[in-house]
Structure 1
Amino acid sequence: MSAFPESTFRSIVRERGVVTTMVSGGTVRGGVGGTPAGGLLTWLRELELKTPRGEKSAGGSLSDTKFVPKSFLEASLPVIQELVGALWDTDGCIFRFTKSPEGRGATYKTISIQLAEDVRFLLLRLGVPTSISQLPYEARKGSRLAYQISVTDTVRFAEMLNGHLHHGGKAAEVALMAGLGKDMHSRARRLGSHLPVGIIQDLVRESGVSVRPVFEAAGLPRAMMSRAGMNHVGYGNQVRLALALDSPKLHRLTAVQWVKVVSQEAAAADELVFEIAVDGVHSIIVNGVAVRTLER
């Protein structure tokens, strides 16, 4: 606010702790119809968040055309933390999906597909993985399509955003999540969240313990203790094993959504394709999908 000394800011706390900030510019009338614009309005126009000077309306993006300006997508991590915190203050949600204190989740909903992708990108820069789903949204003008971003690593989410939310209830929930630390387990979608049992068994052995006592301590069936038995371990059992083993690797894997490839389409014959090689671990994240590069 100090960057715009000619503007006066006044905040009002409304229902459910929502804070509305009103801006007045003293003698500056806002630049509607060609009148002079204050520094704040000029800056918002540079970001393309407000209509250009000379337009009849001083409005900006509509609900379904909202976006995050490029300069903020490329901003430093402290700036991104404040921005994502502000976004969660308004349209974000912190909720409980189990009765235990550890069972908390975080989602963000918008009817702008561009804003949804931008928020996912910002979270990825903070090291927070997410999934996105489409949901019906009832608006005044009829049913619309909304895009919901679900955080799949609530531990990392809390670490990066604790202290950056200002909505009383949400800030308190994130602070509690951060205090729980490793006791928090990430919420993954139940469909497509099954891990091959061999991966789980290998992680148990890496920890220097036997498979059987750990599986028994987590209350898992005997069929999971052998590769010849059950082929996959579901999300709930992954969480129980992660807590029983106290394994950071297994905690991280609960945030991965495993899905089968349902189809393949050949690219155009004349399309230019670039291939890269990554030193060391050959897996990278591309558009939210884990892929593996060729070893050379």
Structure 2
Amino acid sequence: MAKKSRGKHGKIPNDVYEAELFRLQTELVKLQEWTKATGARIVVIFEGRDAAGKGGTIKRLTEYLSPRTARITALPAPTERERSQWYYQRYVAHLPAAGEIVIFDRSWYNRAGVERVMGFCTPQEYSQFMRQTPIFEQMLVEDGILLRKYWFSVSDSEQLKRFRSRLRDPLRQWKLSSMDLESISRWEDYSRAKDEMLVHTDVPAAPWYLVESDVKKHARLNMLAHLLSTIPYEDVPHEKIELPERPAASSGYERPPRELSTWVPDHVAALRGDPEKDL
């Protein structure tokens, strides 16, 4: 019997991907409700190469979650005032309270990556970061925070392919920055920085989990499935919701005439070629 095709280059078929993504997102909603019910605090760190697929995975992770419970933190470059603070201070301000999930789209590990490679920190600051980070994360874990750290790994050829795709796409050109372009010529420097970061900060209390991300859909499913497998959440019972019946009798309300309001023009009608009509 012939084996069923797994798709081009072994990629998961789209229908299988969509079905599994839906299942995982359903579980993420259960995780959200468990987090709220138990007062858990969850931190998920996304790090990795530029164009490694972090953003797409974060989008799928949070797509059906409430922004009141699960929020994304993507901090810009520090201000002059923030540069004078304790290095972790501006990140601590975004840590979750009870019943919250915080997703760091890049984190305090900027110091181990771009700051190290581009010379934005001193050797002393870098060495201090490597010494202090395991201690800092140990404190978070001991205080009850569920900390998960993911590094998205992409090959140099696939990264260059994605950069070229962004360059041609007017909707994604904004994703290309001077730092992204610099990373092309500094590939080995970033590789060495990542390896050194793992040596110092891949510790039992807060281990790193590496995600192979040359195939984005595979990376998304693998990462989401792993995250769910590491948290002992349960399906939280909730009361059954029933929609109330509309009152049968009218209370005498009448909607104001349409001409008294300013309506958005019917742009769709123009696209369909409908004859003009008055609102």
TM bracket, shorter-chain basis: under 0.3
- Structure with more of its chain in strand, by fraction: 1
Q: Which structure exhibits the higher relative contact order, with contacts defined as CA atoms closer than 8 Å and separated by 6 or more residues? A: 2
TM-score by length of 1: 0.21
- Structure with more of its chain in helix, by fraction: 2
